[in-house]
Amino acid sequence: MAADGVTKDMLGRVSLTPVEKAKSILLSALANTPLQSEHCSLPAALDRIISSNLLSPEDLPAHPRSTMDGFAVRAADTFGASSSMPCYLEIDGEVAMGQMPEGEVRQGKCFRIATGGLLPKGSDAVVMFEHTIPVDEKMIEVVKSVGVGINLINRGEDIKKDSPALAKGHLLRPQDLGLLAGLGIAEVKVYRQPKVAILSTGDEVVPWSESPPPGKIRDINGITLAALCRRLGAEVTDYGIVSDSEETFFITLQRATSENNVVLFSGGSSVGMRDLGERVIEKLGNPGILVHGVALKPGKPIIIGLTNDTAIFGLPGHPVSAMVCFELFVNPALRLLAGIPHPENSRQASVNATLDRNINSAAGRLDLVRVQLEEQEDNTLLAVPVLGKSGSISTLSRADGYFFIDEATQGLNKHTHIKVYLLS
Amino acid sequence: MAADGVTKDMLGRVSLTPVEKAKSILLSALANTPLQSEHCSLPAALDRIISSNLLSPEDLPAHPRSTMDGFAVRAADTFGASSSMPCYLEIDGEVAMGQMPEGEVRQGKCFRIATGGLLPKGSDAVVMFEHTIPVDEKMIEVVKSVGVGINLINRGEDIKKDSPALAKGHLLRPQDLGLLAGLGIAEVKVYRQPKVAILSTGDEVVPWSESPPPGKIRDINGITLAALCRRLGAEVTDYGIVSDSEETFFITLQRATSENNVVLFSGGSSVGMRDLGERVIEKLGNPGILVHGVALKPGKPIIIGLTNDTAIFGLPGHPVSAMVCFELFVNPALRLLAGIPHPENSRQASVNATLDRNINSAAGRLDLVRVQLEEQEDNTLLAVPVLGKSGSISTLSRADGYFFIDEATQGLNKHTHIKVYLLS
């Protein structure tokens, strides 16, 4: 491999970089990018990434509380109690919800308590209603003994003061907002969302909202890529459609890289446009091109570059290839720049399915195959490959998901069990 | 089972409904709920559900285009061409990007063309540059024959005019916006997002933004449930915290049901609150209670009701139980009311993991076990159960996902392979 990350074969020709290697070159290059933080109100922090370790400011709960409806007791008083040998306790009080209990549970006595009620002084366990039999207004039989701490949640049992509540890099899911709300934390420090510039290139492309004159086509990649970025929480700016002129392209790309963390341009599938993309990225500054061309189908002609901490992706013009490159390269890069510590550490969820036909693949490259899923009578899923050219956006719209055929495998047989990643 | 959906045992006591049965009672009851539509601009339609079948208004692409850089030819002219026996073609023109090609490819001639260029009249295939050798400025050698239609995308090959583009009930993903953009569709008819009312009950609960006086606790469920709903695209209205008084509760619930498609109240874990919840739902109107109590841990005390097409969920007060009930019951109901045709048809993606310890479970109920996932050296995942009471929100915040132990199984052994659904 040459210093610029370009793999060459023995004759000095540029050869294709394997997908995993390209991803690791990209993520290593971005690993030390400084990330910015900002403060965010709790409800607005959903799906943001927390940017510093957070310790609990208090004990949760602040007081021991009952987790059952029943009677607050001294556990020792119930020792040995059973249906054949119940113990008798006098009802000496009642815990009102939302109030500090008055008085104290003394030996041989108990307080009526509901779920969530504060444990009164003197008591150390709760006997469930179901394990008691009323004798009269003031007396119960306890038919099952309880140990200390049974049927209650202790002070700090959920989380202790000064113990770690959430770690830096943690995605704030609904339950995490719940935890922070429980601790009274109204504002959190989160990473700024990455800024992404999107531009389409090519003299044949017009904005999708316009009616294309003969010879031109509507821009498909711009809106698709913007939506993919928005789903990851990125702030997207549309830089429109740039002509194939090198000067215009350079000026727009220069502005886009100075204003964003990531720049996506698409459309450079022709040799001319690819060369232009490469020249312009090299001209923008160091380190320049990281990867050009990967052993992937579809998606081979991707160019990946870096200039002053801004990642630049030259995505293929074909919509399917562009989206595949987004999933494999732009997605982990954006997640890294959003503050997720190990975005390549793939815990990507999948469904199991059975392939419905033989499918070929060339050795030495990673194939991504789009599939539709069909429910079978035995509740398993059948994966039916969606055939069609990589210029065909409808094949992506028909696909429920995709699977991989790795570099070492030359095709898969019908009935093979595969892992399908959902496009949902 | 009684007419009101309540399962009773032989002694006439109310018994617990199995989870799948409760889900099917709920979804059947909601199946005929009328759904409203609205028009939405294309970029704003991301993650919305399309509400009518959509046919393509035009052929995509509108003209045959090259998918390679090379030469537009008459395929018949290349018949039999090989490296040892090349054929010779005269370069008679060039297709300018974004322009209708002028002239026509005549026999023995070809036009230079780039990827995306419109196929000129007379030509019916493209020979890649790589399969040609320049002879001089006006002549090439073709070293590989091509068949008709090779290296081009035909008119309507992506999608044909009047053929189905997207079906009613389809979620609009990034690539679907791309397809619609390609077809010039600027506005789509989508289902209205369901409206959800969220209220918390209990005299011990204060808003999370307040400092709770002794005996009270901050509301955790309100913000957690709202965030879960927002992630599903629902429009959430916070009805605040309602006191345990039956009259206040009834009035608030009546207003909430008249203004929303779904009402979630949480906090009724004590027997008194559960009874009150049930009485109030029955008072609101028919059909009233559908399910009370399911064979599930955590989450047993859920109440599900229906009044004039509004689903009402009385969720347990414990945060873990409330979230589990949300995932199993509220989530599919919301997806159904959002317009997804088969929300119970679970294609939920999962990861495979190995259980790190023996775990017990009672027969006859579904157990949902929260786990942390740990990466192993061999790249597999270890699932470590997160122990802790269902009142403990921090256990949910520590969990990466969950797995089920079904009704027929009494616990699982260490090293069992399990399917973990991610909480991400």
Q: Which domain holds residue B174?
A: 37-60+157-191
CB-based contacts of B91-96 (< 8 A; 24+ apart in sequence): B91/B137, B91/B138, B91/B139, B91/B140, B93/B120, B95/B66, B95/B119, B95/B120
**Total number of domains constituting chain B:** 4
Residues A213-268 have pLDDT tens digits of 988 999 999 999 999 999 999 999 999 999 878 999 999 999 999 999 999 999 86
Chain-chain contact of B397 with A98 (C-beta, under 8 angstroms): no
Do residues A318 and A202 both lie within one domain?
Answer: yes
How many angstroms separate the CA of residue B287 from the nearest CA in chain A?
A: 29
CB pairs under 8 A between A and B: 293
Residue B106: CA atoms inside 13 Å, Cβ hemisphere, count?
Answer: 3
For residue B398, the domain's CATH number is 2.40.340.10
Q: What is the pLDDT of residue A57?
A: 97
For residue A115, being part of any structural domain is answered with yes
Residue carrying structure tokens 């509004």: B310
Rounded-to-integer distance, Cα B133 and Cα A29, Å = 40
Last residue of a domain, one of B305, B337, B369: B337
For residue A289, being part of any structural domain is answered with yes
Rounded-to-integer distance, Cα B144 and Cα B89, Å = 13
Do residues B401 and B303 both lie within one domain?
Answer: no
Q: What is the pLDDT of residue B268?
A: 60
For residue B78, being part of any structural domain is answered with yes
Do residues B264 and B386 both lie within one domain?
Answer: no
Chain-chain contact of A174 with B421 (C-beta, under 8 angstroms): no
Chain A residues within 8 A of B176 when measuring between CB atoms: 397
Question: Is the confidence at residue A338, as pLDDT, over 80?
Answer: yes
Q: What is the pLDDT of residue A6?
A: 52
Q: Calculate mean pLDDT across residues A116-128.
A: 96
Rounded-to-integer distance, Cα A334 and Cα B325, Å = 33
Which chain B residue is nearest to residue A320, measuring alpha carbons?
Answer: B175
Do residues A164 and A238 both lie within one domain?
Answer: no
Do residues A248 and A302 both lie within one domain?
Answer: yes
Q: Calculate mean pLDDT across residues A386-407.
A: 95
| Residues of chain B below pLDDT 50 | 1-5
Query: For residue A252, what are its two tokens?
Result: 């727009």
For residue B48, being part of any structural domain is answered with yes
Q: What is the pLDDT of residue A347?
A: 83
Chain-chain contact of A159 with B115 (C-beta, under 8 angstroms): no
Residue carrying structure tokens 């491999």: A1
A424, B173 contact by CB (below 8 A): yes
Percent of the residues in chain A that have a pLDDT greater than 90, as a whole number: 86
Q: What is the pLDDT of residue A270?
A: 64
Do residues A227 and A356 both lie within one domain?
Answer: no
Q: Residue B303: beta bridge partners?
A: B292, B314
Chain B residues within 8 A of A400 when measuring between CB atoms: 347
DSSP-assigned states of every residue in A350-382: BEEEEESS-B---TTSEEEEEEEEEE-TTS-EE
Question: Is the confidence at residue A1, as pLDDT, over 50?
Answer: no
Do residues B50 and B115 both lie within one domain?
Answer: no
Chain-chain contact of B204 with A174 (C-beta, under 8 angstroms): no
Chain-chain contact of B223 with A345 (C-beta, under 8 angstroms): no
Do residues B310 and B387 both lie within one domain?
Answer: no
Do residues B209 and B186 both lie within one domain?
Answer: no
Pick B116's closest partner by Cβ from A166, A184, A202. A202
Rounded-to-integer distance, Cα A300 and Cα B82, Å = 26
Last residue of a domain, one of B140, B169, B191: B191
Chain-chain contact of A227 with B60 (C-beta, under 8 angstroms): no
Do residues A45 and A134 both lie within one domain?
Answer: no
Q: Which helix (H) or strand (E) holds A182?
A: helix A174-182
B372, B70 contact by CB (below 8 A): no
For residue A31, the domain's CATH number is 3.40.980.10
Q: What is the pLDDT of residue B3?
A: 41
Do residues B365 and B375 both lie within one domain?
Answer: yes
For residue A9, being part of any structural domain is answered with no
Residues B218-247 have pLDDT tens digits of 999 999 999 999 999 999 999 999 987 899
For residue B343, being part of any structural domain is answered with no
Rounded-to-integer distance, Cα A7 and Cα A15, Å = 5
pLDDT range class, residue A147, cuts 50, 70, 90: very high
B100: closest CA among A269, A213, A273? A213
For residue A79, the domain's CATH number is 2.170.190.11
Residues A8-63 have pLDDT tens digits of 555 555 689 999 999 999 999 999 999 999 999 999 999 999 999 999 999 999 99
Chain B residues within 8 A of A179 when measuring between CB atoms: 220, 393-394, 396-397
Chain-chain contact of A98 with B159 (C-beta, under 8 angstroms): no
Q: What is the pLDDT of residue B14?
A: 64
Q: What is the pLDDT of residue A5?
A: 47
| Residues in contact with A85: Cβ distance below 8 Å, sequence separation at least 6, in sequence order | none
Do residues A281 and A257 both lie within one domain?
Answer: yes
For residue A13, being part of any structural domain is answered with no
Last residue of a domain, one of B313, B337, B361: B337
For residue B44, being part of any structural domain is answered with yes
Residues A172-192 have pLDDT tens digits of 999 999 999 999 999 999 999
Within 10 angstroms of residue A362's Cβ, the number of other Cβ atoms is 12
